């Protein structure tokens, strides 16, 4: 039963790392997107360009940067986070945040254009405006989160470098597939590959149904 327990362990860690990373990225990215869409402050345009550019951040480069920060001789080496799931979560959060922020920015900008005059005619405060837009954006934000989750689950470069692909500690699906393939252990590699695919489909399907149910209820 070694095969199955090992498989389960890898799948569980993959999900844990990516889901936590996407949750953190959503907590940062959605308010950031709203701020970029609604706020008016110096440097806003530059920040929008930066966030959009960071969507294409190469995972390997993020991994390398984080490695330099977290390695024993790096500035954050004292935290001893290198080769831990925490480091992997940080890496994926960095990768996913710009994606969610950029999608959210677009979603909030469109909604703001549509609702701005109405909300100002109602004398809504800035706070009431933001809360209204977040509530109205709820269906569309699911798409932003999905895009982020896709990135996190499929990414290998960053988790490989800061996680180290250590068995029973930091081995996730993507790193395991790479390793098992190079070892010629194709049975485990293919199984993992299929599970990764199935998981992606399942998550997308679930969120798709959630979104269309919400939209039917609101007739958006």
Least separation in angstroms between residue 104's CB and another protein is 17
Smaller CB separation from another protein, 35 or 115: 115
Smaller CB separation from another protein, 1 or 121: 121
Q: Which residues contact 163 (CB under 8 A, 6 or more apart)?
A: 83, 84, 85, 87, 88, 91, 170, 171, 172, 175
Smaller CB separation from another protein, 78 or 121: 121
Least separation in angstroms between residue 111's CB and another protein is 10
Q: List Cα–Cα distances, 91 to 22, 66, 159, in angstroms.
A: 11, 7, 7
Q: Which residues contact 20 (CB under 8 A, 6 or more apart)?
A: 89
The pair of three-digit structure tokens given for residue 3, joined into one six-digit string: 């095969």
Smaller CB separation from another protein, 118 or 166: 118
Least separation in angstroms between residue 127's CB and another protein is 11
CA distance 106 to 32: 11
Q: Are 124 and 179 in contact (CB under 8 A)?
A: no
Smaller CB separation from another protein, 122 or 169: 122
**Nearest by Cα to 148 from 109, 102, 197:** 102
Contacts with another protein, residue ranges (CB under 8 A) = 114-115, 117-124, 128, 132, 135-136, 139, 217-220
Least separation in angstroms between residue 132's CB and another protein is 7
Least separation in angstroms between residue 106's CB and another protein is 17
């Amino acid at each position: 039963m070694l095969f199955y327990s090992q498989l389960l362990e890898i799948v569980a860690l993959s999900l844990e790392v990516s889901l936590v990373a996407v949750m953190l990225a959503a907590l940062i990215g959605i308010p950031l997107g709203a701020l970029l869409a609604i706020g008016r402050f110096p440097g806003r345009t530059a920040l929008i360009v930066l966030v959009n550019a960071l969507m294409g951040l190469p995972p390997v480069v993020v991994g390398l940067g984080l490695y330099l920060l977290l390695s024993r001789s790096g500035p954050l080496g004292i935290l001893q986070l290198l080769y831990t799931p925490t480091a992997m979560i940080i890496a994926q959060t960095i990768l996913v945040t710009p994606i969610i922020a950029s999608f959210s920015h677009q979603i909030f900008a469109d909604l703001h254009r549509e609702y701005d005059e109405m909300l100002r005619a109602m004398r809504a405060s800035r706070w009431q405006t933001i809360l209204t837009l977040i509530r109205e954006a709820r269906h569309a934000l699911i798409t932003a989160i999905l895009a982020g989750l896709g990135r996190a689950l499929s990414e290998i470069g960053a988790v490989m470098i800061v996680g180290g692909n250590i068995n029973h500690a930091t081995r996730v699906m993507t790193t395991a597939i790479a390793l098992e393939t190079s070892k010629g252990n194709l049975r485990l590699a293919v199984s993992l590959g299929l599970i990764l695919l199935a998981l992606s489909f399942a998550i997308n399907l679930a969120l798709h149904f959630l979104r269309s149910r919400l939209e039917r209820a609101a007739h958006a």
